[in-house]
Each structure stands twice: as structure tokens, then as C-alpha cells.
């Protein structure tokens, strides 16, 4: 993929200029083809849906194409995909829809590794008598281990919520193994894939997830989120839209509907991945999308290795999480702390050199508190994606060396 990087970067208008953007876990750059789709929708068919005239029918089809594209990014499972403005908003919708089926004493498990988006909405259900349990992170490797979940499961467990990949330390978790455990007690599994989906292909149904959500604006698209729901889980969720829309499919979980032009723009995301894969060599039996994701993983592993090797050689630096760059173990979201320095001090010094990274807890507040890093202002996070280059990592290293070396 290294040979294709110039062509890849040309597809992202936001990469023009000299500023080095290494805060991609907060939001990736958007594809130019997505921008074009959005603009064309607004120019050519910005009308209300459901009418008999031609432009309305075209508008419906273009939004449906965007919805199908998002479903393909989630694996095209048998259940519906719902869309909202953000992952946080979607999870609040789902919690509200699940609430009527819950009884006092029912149990929900959330994790210490998760972004607040997959914690707060579920935790608020304690107000109606639901018992909320916390799945502790394993301290040595900073992973969610099945052994830590097992004592929390019982016949009262209704839902387990976990992250596929930590948005702070980049660790990939074994969702399929957890799904088997959760289903063995008759519970559902809801997965936050926000930090995973920009880096690897997702097949939510094959993983065994009953719900799987990701932020489209972190996967090269507009500011939206999408969630897959298994048919069984979807059937348990109450209508939260207008009362007369109880039989309206996914729409009953999308009060106010979707943003037409943004959803229409999403049709360009899987098209880009397929085009990327078609330009790569690989076995004929492997489809272009799979080739694209494999190449992305390999390229990102090389970027991670470059940065992790440098950080490991800095005596004052401690990488928070896995120090191994293996693509099976982590994604290129790398956090660290520097002895004798608050994490808030470093990003402004890099910004002065045109390099964009951030510090903080990144809404994974339980994790930062568990690690005792609140007083240090959390961590410094560098988050790479496939359009980043090795020379950009080298530029970051050159800037960091006199500060943390």
C-alpha cells in the first residue's frame, strides 16, 4: 500500500497543507467523494421523501444507498441498522428503548475500558432499579479479559457492554469469545466499535454481537453514527418515535429521522475501500474490500512499530497499554505519559511545530481513573490511520525527541 499513498491522500482534501494531523481517533478526514455526494444531493434532490414526484423518489433511493453502504460496513448482517448523529446519541436511544423491558434486579455490565458513550446511558438505568456492574480491566496488559467478566454473569444479566478496541490504548478485545460467554447465560452483548472500525473490517453478526455501533465520522465519512442490531435484540426494543410508528422498522429507533444528505454521502465510503482493494495485488478468492482492510492493517502496524520503538527508547516515557505493534493485538492509537510532565504540556509544544495531537481522558474516564492518571491530566494520544505516512511519524519523532528524550 506504500506505493498507493499519494493516490490515497489525494482522496482526502483535508490533508492538503503542512499541518500534521495525528488526532484521527477524534475524527478522521472525510473523503472528497463523500463531500461530493453530499453536495450533489443538496443541489439535485434536496426534497422531502415519500412523495410521488420524480425528485422525491430519487432522494429516497440515494438515502437508501447510503443506508446500504453503512450496513455493508457493519457486515450486512440479518438485523437492521439504525443511524443517528453520534454514537452517544444512538446508545441513549437504545437505552431508552430497552428500558420498558427491564425489571428491578435485572443486571447490566459495563466495562472500565469503555468510552462513556457505552457506559453512561446504560448506567442511568440504575434509576429504575437495574443493577449496574463494572467489568474491571486487567491491569498488566490493560485488556478486558473473559476471566474478569465471568463472576459478573448470572441468570439476571440482561446486557453486557464492551468496547471492541480501547480508544485510549488501542487494545483489540476478543468479542467473539465474550459473545459466547454472554449468550450462555441468555444475555445480550452490545459492542462499541468506534475505535476499531477505522482500522479493520467489521462483521457484527459473525462476531456474535447483538448490537454494534461505530462513528461514521471516524471512518472517513460525515458526522453520523450507525449501529447494527440483531433481529432478537431489535425485537426487544420499544418504539421511541411517534406512537403511530411502532411498526416502522428501524425508524422507530430514529426519532426525527436521519440527516438525508449526510446518509446519502456515506455511499462513497465502501466504494472507496473497494477501489483501494481493486488496486492491490492479492489472491483472487479474496475480495477487494478484504484486501483493502488487510493492506490497511499491515501499513498501520508498520507505523505503530516506528513510533513504539522510539517511545520505548525514551527513559522518561511510559506507553500506556501494549508496546507490541502486532496488528492482531492493537490499532495505531498510542497513548503515553512522560515522567515529570503533565500530559497537557506536550500537545501545545507540538502544535507550535504544526503537529496535531491531544491529551486527556478521551471520555474513557473510568480507565484513566483506574490507572491513577487524572492528576497528570490523563495521557498524550497519537492516533494514526492508513493515510498517514512513515515520514509523518518521523516528523513527530523528531519533534518529540528534544522534549521527552
Specify the CATH number for the domain of residue 399.
3.90.1150.10
Same domain, 165 and 224: yes
How far apart are the C-alpha atoms of 246 and 305, rounded to whole Å? 51
Same domain, 25 and 75: no
* 278: in domain: no
Same domain, 257 and 336: no
What is the chain's mean pLDDT, rounded? 97
The predicted pLDDT at position 150 comes to 98
* 276: in domain: no
Q: Which residues pair with 172 in a beta bridge?
A: 165
Same domain, 246 and 303: no
Domain count, the chain: 2
All three cell numbers of 135, joined, read: 467489568
List alpha helices for 224-343, DSSP H: 231-236, 260-265, 268-278, 288-312
Last residue of a domain, one of 219, 236, 269: 269
For 196, list phi and psi in degrees, rounded to 5: -95, -40
**pLDDT above 90 as % of the chain:** 96
How far apart are the C-alpha atoms of 29 and 40, rounded to whole Å? 19
For 47, list phi and psi in degrees, rounded to 5: -130, 170
Whether the predicted pLDDT of 301 surpasses 80: yes
Same domain, 209 and 149: yes
pLDDT in tens, 189-233: 999 999 999 999 999 999 999 999 999 999 999 999 999 999 999
* 282: in domain: no
The predicted pLDDT at position 249 comes to 95
Whether the predicted pLDDT of 3 surpasses 80: no
All three cell numbers of 52, joined, read: 410521488
How far apart are the C-alpha atoms of 129 and 203, rounded to whole Å? 34
Same domain, 232 and 331: no
* 191: in domain: yes
Specify the CATH number for the domain of residue 125.
3.40.640.10
Q: Could you tell me the pLDDT band of residue 405, with boundaries at 50, 70 and 90?
A: confident
| Assessment of whether the complete model's pTM goes beyond 0.85 | yes
Mean pLDDT of 53-58: 98
* 281: in domain: no
Mean pLDDT of 299-318: 98
Owning domain of residue 319: 2-30+290-404
Q: Could you tell me the pLDDT band of residue 403, with boundaries at 50, 70 and 90?
A: very high
Mean pLDDT of 350-371: 97
Mean pLDDT of 157-173: 98
| Alpha-carbon torsion angle 71, 194, 301, 77, nearest 10 | -30
| Backbone angle region of 378, left / alpha / beta, with phi > 0 → left and psi within -120 to 50 → alpha | left
What are the angstrom distances between the C-alpha of 29 and each of 126, 184, 288, 345? 38, 40, 22, 25
In 3D space, the residue among 77, 63, 65, 367 whose CA is nearest the CA of residue 211 turns out to be 77
The predicted pLDDT at position 285 comes to 75
Same domain, 16 and 91: no
Residue pair 349/320 in contact by the 8 Å Cβ criterion: no
Same domain, 239 and 356: no
Q: Output the CA angle 391-392-398, nearest 5 degrees.
A: 85
* 243: in domain: yes
* 285: in domain: no
Same domain, 99 and 141: yes
Same domain, 206 and 334: no
The predicted pLDDT at position 59 comes to 98
Same domain, 242 and 303: no
All three cell numbers of 89, joined, read: 446519541
Residue pair 402/312 in contact by the 8 Å Cβ criterion: no
* 277: in domain: no
How far apart are the C-alpha atoms of 370 and 119, rounded to whole Å? 15
Same domain, 11 and 99: no
Amino acid at each position: 500500500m506504500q506505493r498507493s499513498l499519494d493516490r490515497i491522500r489525494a482522496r482526502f482534501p483535508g490533508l492538503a497543507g503542512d499541518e500534521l494531523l495525528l488526532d484521527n481517533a477524534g475524527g478522521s478526514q472525510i473523503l472528497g467523494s463523500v463531500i461530493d455526494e453530499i453536495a450533489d444531493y443538496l443541489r439535485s434532490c434536496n426534497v422531502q421523501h415519500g412523495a410521488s414526484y420524480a425528485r422525491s423518489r430519487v432522494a429516497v433511493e440515494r438515502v437508501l444507498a447510503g443506508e446500504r453502504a453503512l450496513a455493508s460496513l457493519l457486515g450486512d448482517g440479518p438485523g437492521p441498522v439504525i443511524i443517528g448523529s453520534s454514537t452517544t446519541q444512538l446508545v441513549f436511544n437504545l437505552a431508552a428503548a430497552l428500558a420498558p423491558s427491564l425489571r428491578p434486579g435485572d443486571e447490566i455490565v459495563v466495562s472500565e475500558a469503555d468510552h462513556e458513550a457505552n457506559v453512561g446511558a446504560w448506567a442511568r438505568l440504575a434509576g429504575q432499579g437495574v443493577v449496574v456492574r463494572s467489568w474491571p480491566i486487567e491491569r498488566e496488559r490493560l485488556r478486558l479479559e473473559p476471566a474478569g467478566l465471568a463472576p459478573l454473569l448470572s441468570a439476571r444479566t440482561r446486557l453486557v457492554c464492551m468496547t471492541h478496541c480501547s480508544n485510549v490504548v488501542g487494545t483489540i478485545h476478543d468479542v467473539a469469545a465474550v459473545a459466547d460467554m454472554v449468550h450462555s447465560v441468555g444475555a445480550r452483548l452490545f459492542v462499541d466499535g468506534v475505535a476499531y472500525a477505522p482500522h479493520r473490517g467489521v462483521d457484527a453478526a459473525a462476531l456474535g454481537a447483538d448490537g454494534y455501533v461505530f462513528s461514521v465520522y471516524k471512518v472517513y465519512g460525515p458526522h453520523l453514527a450507525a449501529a447494527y442490531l440483531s433481529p432478537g435484540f431489535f425485537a426487544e426494543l420499544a418504539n421511541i418515535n411517534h406512537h403511530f410508528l411502532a411498526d416502522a422498522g428501524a425508524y422507530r429507533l430514529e426519532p426525527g429521522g436521519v440527516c438525508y444528505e449526510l446518509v446519502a454521502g456515506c455511499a462513497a465510503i465502501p466504494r472507496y475501500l473497494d477501489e483501494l482493494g481493486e488496486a492491490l495485488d492479492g489472491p483472487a478468492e479474496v475480495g477487494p474490500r478484504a484486501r483493502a482492510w488487510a493492506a490497511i492493517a499491515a501499513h498501520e502496524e508498520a507505523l505503530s512499530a516506528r513510533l513504539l520503538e522510539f517511545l520505548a527508547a525514551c527513559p522518561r516515557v511510559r506507553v500506556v497499554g501494549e508496546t507490541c505493534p502486532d496488528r492482531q493485538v492493537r490499532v495505531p492509537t498510542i497513548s503515553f505519559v512522560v515522567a515529570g510532565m503533565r500530559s497537557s504540556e506536550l500537545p501545545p509544544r507540538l502544535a507550535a511545530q504544526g503537529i496535531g495531537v491531544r491529551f486527556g481522558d478521551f471520555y474513557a474516564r473510568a480507565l484513566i481513573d483506574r490507572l491513577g492518571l487524572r492528576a497528570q491530566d490523563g495521557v498524550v494520544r497519537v492516533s494514526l490511520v492508513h493515510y498517514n505516512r512513515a515520514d509523518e511519524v518521523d516528523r513527530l519523532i523528531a519533534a518529540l525527541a528534544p522534549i521527552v528524550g
